[in-house]
């Protein structure tokens, strides 16, 4: 792994991830159990979930119109794939970068999630399995 990729993975690991569920905010972090996330998975019957964004491919800032178009394309791909998802965002707890709109996708397989992430130029996704803390997964092979 290159130094730049290692740096990116550390940034992603420190991020705060949020999913919006009927007015409730479900917040979670890498490597830390989240009771709210566990409750959501149990309530929806999901055993797995992936957290993915289409914003700022490879963490290179892009103009808002480009990011919004990528977000719409990801939303369309999720709908066509038939996956249930919640809107969300990934945020820097120190506030150095703006939160990135994202999706918490329920019961999507790891291979499908990695394929989507690569399609939208993402270096990593957050993998969630009921009973385990969220973990960061690189999308490259």
Lowest mean pLDDT, pick from 3-12, 13-22, 67-76, 99-108? 3-12
Quote the mean pLDDT of the chain: 94
pLDDT of residue 64: 96
Give mean pLDDT, residues 20-40.
Answer: 95
Select from 133, 116, 129 the least CA-distant residue to 46.
129
pLDDT of residue 141: 59
Q: State yes or no: pLDDT of 1 exceeds 70.
A: no
What is the Cα–Cα distance from 30 to 21, expressed in whole angstroms?
20
* Structure confidence by residue, pLDDT tens digits, 39-90: 999 999 999 999 999 999 888 999 999 999 999 999 999 999 999 999 999 9
Report residue 4's pLDDT band, with 50, 70 and 90 as the boundaries: confident
Measured torsion, CA atoms of residues 102, 106, 112, 113, in degrees rounded to the nearest 10: 30
pLDDT of residue 6: 85
* Structure confidence by residue, pLDDT tens digits, 89-122: 999 999 888 999 999 999 999 899 999 999 999 9
Phi first, then psi: give them for residue 26, nearest 5 degrees. -100, 110
What is the Cα–Cα distance from 17 to 96, expressed in whole angstroms?
15
Q: Please tell me the pTM assigned to this model.
A: 0.94
pLDDT of residue 108: 94
């Amino acid at each position: 792994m290159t130094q730049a990729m290692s740096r990116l993975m550390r940034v992603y690991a420190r991020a705060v991830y949020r999913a919006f569920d009927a007015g409730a905010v479900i917040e979670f972090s890498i490597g830390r159990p989240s009771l709210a996330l566990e409750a959501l998975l149990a309530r929806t019957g999901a055993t797995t979930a992936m957290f993915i964004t289409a914003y700022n491919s490879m963490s290179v800032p892009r103009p808002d119109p480009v990011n919004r178009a990528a977000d719409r394309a990801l939303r369309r791909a999720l709908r066509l794939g038939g996956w249930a998802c919640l809107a969300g965002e990934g945020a820097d707890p120190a506030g150095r970068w703006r939160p990135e709109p994202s999706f918490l996708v329920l019961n999507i397989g790891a291979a499908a999630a990695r394929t989507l992430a690569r399609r939208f130029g993402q270096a990593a996704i957050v993998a969630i399995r009921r009973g385990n803390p969220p973990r960061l997964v690189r999308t490259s092979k």
